[in-house]
């Protein structure tokens, strides 16, 4: 996972400062090292699944362009690279501890004010308050951002939904290459009727 070079947080406050710095620097290894151990695998899998969605989407629209021409309508939509956001640099990133309440020697409840860039073109920012639990593990303090209630279940459902979308893109590309559709519009409409399909 590449966490060996990451700095260890010696306190909840240190963990917050390291998280802020990692957001500004786009240091995914540092960010993942600040997550509790049981979360790290799921976070990396989510990032990799986003990468595969982008790859499958590009392959689908490449197949359409080869079959019907890149100039034919409708034009290829811009597919956001959500995986890149995991490693994106945000010079406007700021994290302020608004409140903290120690539960015991190994855990502290935190309320954080997190500021991030909202619009890269204008440089505008957005600040939100999030609840966070700082947890002391054998390799330093970690941050469980957000509510722990059903968090892992929701993340797993998201991954499963994205994996279904990948399959629909892959099947769509295969159908286009096999000559199943007569027009680009027909192929895209067929894809949109899939439960997780979109353009």
Q: What is the pLDDT of residue 1?
A: 45
Number of domains in the chain: 1
Q: Which residues contact 149 (CB under 8 A, 6 or more apart)?
A: none
In a domain, 164, yes or no: yes
Q: What is the pLDDT of residue 196?
A: 55
Q: What is the pLDDT of residue 97?
A: 97
Number of alpha carbons in the 13 Å side-chain half-sphere of residue 46: 16
Pairing of strands 124-137, 107-119: antiparallel
In a domain, 105, yes or no: no
Residue pair 79/58 in contact by the 8 Å Cβ criterion? yes
In a domain, 173, yes or no: yes
Q: What is the pLDDT of residue 103?
A: 92
Q: What is the pLDDT of residue 76?
A: 82
Q: What is the pLDDT of residue 31?
A: 94
In a domain, 16, yes or no: yes
Residue pair 169/195 in contact by the 8 Å Cβ criterion? no
Structure tokens given for 18:
């390291």
Q: What is the pLDDT of residue 192?
A: 83
Cα–Cα distance measured from residue 151 to residue 194, given in angstroms and rounded to the nearest whole number:
27
In a domain, 107, yes or no: no
The single residue listed with the structure tokens 């590009």 is: 58
In a domain, 102, yes or no: no
Mean pLDDT for back-to-back runs of 10 residues, the chain (199 residues): 74 97 95 93 94 95 93 80 90 95 94 91 91 94 77 85 95 95 91 65
Could you tell me the residue range of the domain that residue 162 belongs to?
12-95+150-192
Cα–Cα distance measured from residue 194 to residue 189, given in angstroms and rounded to the nearest whole number:
9
**Per-residue b or e along 119-152, where b marks 16 or more CB atoms closer than 10 Å to that residue's CB:** eeeeeeeeeeeeebbbbbeeebbbbbbeeeeeee
Cα–Cα distance measured from residue 81 to residue 176, given in angstroms and rounded to the nearest whole number:
23
Model confidence, pTM? 0.80
Pairing of strands 140-145, 124-137: antiparallel
Q: Strands, E, within the chain: which ranges?
A: 94-104, 107-119, 124-137, 140-145
In a domain, 122, yes or no: no
The single residue listed with the structure tokens 């954080």 is: 112
Q: What is the pLDDT of residue 119?
A: 85
Cα–Cα distance measured from residue 181 to residue 164, given in angstroms and rounded to the nearest whole number:
22
In a domain, 138, yes or no: no
């Amino acid at each position: 996972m590449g966490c060996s070079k990451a700095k260890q947080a010696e306190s909840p406050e240190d963990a917050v400062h390291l998280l802020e710095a990692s957001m500004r620097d786009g240091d995914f290894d540092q960010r993942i090292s600040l997550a509790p151990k049981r979360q790290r695998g799921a976070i990396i899998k989510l990032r990799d699944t986003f990468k595969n969605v982008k790859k499958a989407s590009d392959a689908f629209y490449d197949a359409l362009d080869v079959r019907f021409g890149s100039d034919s309508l409708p034009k290829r939509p811009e597919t956001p690279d959500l995986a890149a956001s995991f490693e994106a640099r945000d010079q406007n990133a700021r994290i302020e501890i608004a409140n903290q309440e120690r539960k015991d020697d190994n855990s502290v409840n935190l309320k954080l004010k997190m500021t991030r860039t909202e619009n890269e073109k204008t440089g505008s920012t957005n600040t939100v308050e999030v609840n966070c639990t700082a947890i002391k593990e054998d390799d330093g303090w970690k941050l469980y951002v957000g509510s722990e209630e059903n968090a892992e279940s929701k993340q797993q459902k998201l991954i499963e939904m994205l994996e279904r979308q990948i399959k629909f893109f892959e099947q769509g590309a295969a159908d286009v290459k096999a000559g199943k559709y007569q027009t680009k519009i027909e192929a895209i409409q067929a894809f949109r009727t899939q439960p997780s399909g979109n353009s």
